[in-house]
Amino acid sequence: MGSSTEKPLLPESLPTETPAKRTTPWRKPLFIAISAFVILRFALLPIFFPWLRSDLLSNHYHHHRHDLKSGCEQGQALFPKSLDVSELIPGKEAQIRDWLSGAVKIPTEIFDVMGEIGEDPRWDVFYEFADYLEKSFPLVHKHLTKTRVMTHALVFEWQGSDPSLQPILLTGHQDVVPVLNATRGLWTHDPFGGEYDPETDLIWGRGSSDDKSGTIGALSAIELLLESGKFKPTRTVVLAFGIDEETGGKVGALNLGIWLEEKYGKDSFAILVDEGSGLYEAWGQVFATPAVGEKGYLDVEVKVETLGGHSSVPPPHTGIGLLALAIAQIEKHPHEPYLNPESPLVGLMSCGAEYASDFPLHLKKAVHKVEESLSYGGTVNKKALKEIEDYWVYGSAEDGSLVKGMGRAFVSTTQAVDIVNGGVKVNALPEVVTAIVNHRISLAESVAELQKHLIDTLSPIAKHYNLSLEAFGKDVQLKGCHHQLTDAKAGKLILSEAFHSALDPAPVSPHSVDSAAWRLLSGAVKAVYSTRPDAKDDELEANKDIIMAPLISTGNTDTKRYWNLTRNIYRFAYQVTKGGGLNNVHTVDEHIQGQTFVEQVRWFMHFIVLADEDREL
């Protein structure tokens, strides 16, 4: 600080005289009158007449937004001109259910670590499954070309008469997650019994929903179309069924994608439909929610290496203790939610605001503000976007929406410590201990950003406990280690990618009516929904349209191996899911409703015939 004789950097402000305000006698009464009107109009009136509240505000926003294009413009229901596929269903319902039940009986379990095909006998069950398909779908095997890829992955090609038309691709997987022996007693029905209960109209068993319903559904549709003799494709239809989707598709879908690209070329398919989200009711409205994107993926092995020794002379922290501290540090620093304004989730909320009668009013206002800020070319209204983000993180778990309990996962990178290994004897200090952390990466992030987050999170642990740190093949330089009295390290903390799993988030598929692929998908959904059998029982519901809205997948499907084949990838199953549930997928008592599966087959037939007639794809 300089001497006290220095001049101040800025001159001191001088007092100024404020001129006397001129008053006008009529201003004060006018101000009081206007204030009273505003209070009555927007505060007291809704209190005494609550039925007016939503209408007044809703009309205000609709009037204010009359010049804005809807964020959820809907296409029309589309019906094939050549064939009404609904005529092919009556009398076939039991057969359709039996096809799925029989497939469930074959335990095509896949495990995280599998040996080579031909060496590991656990692959051999897929021979039995292929035999079952050949026996159950004789016309498919007679009229379509079947190719085995990597022995058990299957491609079926139904050749169209016009080679100038890009084919459509329907994909699914034959494999299922294992049933733990310890849980078999918890199942209401044998997990591989494929039992159908006519009283509840439920088909029980592992794979009944995920994903033998998709695989058998597509085959059933083509078998029935062939049996009818009323349809011959002009556009080629290709089916591709993987064998290890539940462990990342590293054998089946990977090689299927290579095979298809070599034969048909890059960007060669008009549209791809794989397993995914379905039909849900939320906010008083039924939505069809194809996943137009899916999160990225990374399994990370966290390893601690320390000196061994006798457990009677232990260090302050064993390798297991240090690993536990690392795990606790990871869980203490979860990834912050972040909703990108370009996210399909914002599009879904636009659909809710536009069409759902029970959509929360405060969210409708926030959605409109975000739409307006983007429509006029300005920066996004961050406060309104944060309100939508908070709904996904907190509110979606409470209001019974279509993603009940899953909201935070949609807008965050998630982390789950699922596997821990270490120690072989009670009186020996473990030299190597490991944990596997499963990550699903937000659409707004990347593998590289996730790796940096883990390094930043675990560096303090390595510093504090005098561990060297190696992360993803590189040594990390740590500064200012605590309690480091010598150059000797207490051990090593190693982060590495597990199972060759790194995957950035998927490209987002087109999901507006400007896209021919989206119009086709939407048109098929709306047409099948409008002619569903149960609509006849309720005239009001029959006249209620289903709304197409984009969603994202929190998990991954085999489509991650097919990005080169088309931009138009949709993860969608025409299945009505009640209460936001997932039919106990991946857990005890997996099931699917028989009528739901029949309708899924009808949708596949409708979609195939409709795509065949479409010349805009």
- Provide the annotated active-site residues: 175, 245
User: Is the separation of the CB atoms in 320 and 423 below 8 Å?
Assistant: yes
Q: What band does 36 get if pLDDT is binned at 50, 70 and 90? A: low
Q: What band does 377 get if pLDDT is binned at 50, 70 and 90? A: confident
The CATH superfamily assigned to 85-277+512-613 is Zn peptidases (3.40.630.10)
Q: What band does 577 get if pLDDT is binned at 50, 70 and 90? A: confident
For 191-228, b where at least 16 C-beta lie within 10 A, e where not — what string?
bbebbbeeeeebbbbbbbbbbbbbbbbbbbbbbbbbee
Q: Where are the domains of the chain?
A: 85-277+512-613, 296-335+413-497, 346-393
Q: What band does 63 get if pLDDT is binned at 50, 70 and 90? A: very low
Is 174 or 377 the better-scoring residue by pLDDT? 174
**Order of strands, sheet of 202-204, starting from the edge strand that comes earlier in the sequence:** 196-197, 202-204, 591-593
What are the strands, taking DSSP E only, across 201-314?
202-204, 237-242, 271-282, 285-288, 291-294, 296-306, 309-310
What is the 8-class DSSP label of residue 100? H
| Other beta carbons within 10 Å of 447 | 19
In angstroms, rounded to a whole number, what is the distance separating the alpha carbons of residues 165 and 234? Answer: 8
Look at the domain 296-335+413-497 and name its fold. Alpha-Beta Plaits (3.30.70)
CA-to-CA separations, 226 to 70, 217, 223, 231, in angstroms, rounded: 41, 14, 5, 7
In angstroms, rounded to a whole number, what is the distance separating the alpha carbons of residues 416 and 407? Answer: 16
Structure tokens at 541: 């519901």
* Cis, bond preceding 358 (omega within 30 deg of 0): no
User: Is the separation of the CB atoms in 420 and 440 below 8 Å?
Assistant: no
408-466 pLDDT, tens digit per residue, is 999 999 999 999 999 999 999 999 999 999 999 999 999 999 999 999 999 999 999 99
Residue 608, Cβ density class (10 Å: 0-12 exposed, 13-18 middle, ≥19 buried): buried
Is 5 or 275 the better-scoring residue by pLDDT? 275
- Residue 84, pLDDT > 80, answer yes
Closest by alpha carbon to 552, among 358, 414, 365?
414
Residues pairing with 438 in the sheet: 299, 416
Closest by alpha carbon to 546, among 313, 332, 355, 349?
355
Q: Containing H/E element for 363?
A: helix 361-375
In 113-175, which ranges are continuous DSSP H helix?
Answer: 125-136, 138-143
Structure tokens at 8: 């101040």
Closest by alpha carbon to 290, among 282, 278, 281?
278
- Model pTM? 0.86
pLDDT at 310: 96
| Dihedral, 259, 260, 265, 269 alpha carbons, nearest 10 | -170
Closest by alpha carbon to 401, among 542, 555, 275, 286?
286
Taking each helix axis from N to C end, the angle separating 516-530 and 594-613, rounded to the nearest 10 degrees, works out to: 140
Structure tokens at 303: 């390893």
Angle ∠(185,186,188) on CA atoms, nearest 5:
100
Taking each helix axis from N to C end, the angle separating 361-375 and 382-393, rounded to the nearest 10 degrees, works out to: 140
Q: What band does 77 get if pLDDT is binned at 50, 70 and 90? A: very high
Binding site annotation covers 439? no
- Name the amino acid, one letter, at 55: D
Coil, strand or helix at 243:
coil
pLDDT at 29: 55
Residues pairing with 437 in the sheet: 300, 417
Residues pairing with 294 in the sheet: 553
Q: Strand pairing of 153-158 and 145-149?
A: antiparallel
In angstroms, rounded to a whole number, what is the distance separating the alpha carbons of residues 179 and 380? Answer: 47
- Residue 578, pLDDT > 90, answer no
Binding site annotation covers 173? yes
User: Is the separation of the CB atoms in 292 and 508 below 8 Å?
Assistant: yes
Binding site annotation covers 333? no
Coil, strand or helix at 376:
coil
Is 334 or 405 the better-scoring residue by pLDDT? 334
Residue 511, Cβ density class (10 Å: 0-12 exposed, 13-18 middle, ≥19 buried): buried
In angstroms, rounded to a whole number, what is the distance separating the alpha carbons of residues 216 and 133? Answer: 9
pLDDT more than 70, % of the chain: 84
Taking each helix axis from N to C end, the angle separating 319-332 and 447-464, rounded to the nearest 10 degrees, works out to: 130
Sign for the pseudo-dihedral over CA of 410, 415, 418, 419 = positive
Angle ∠(193,195,196) on CA atoms, nearest 5:
165
In angstroms, rounded to a whole number, what is the distance separating the alpha carbons of residues 306 and 344? Answer: 46
What is the 8-class DSSP label of residue 433? E
User: Is the separation of the CB atoms in 503 and 562 below 8 Å?
Assistant: no
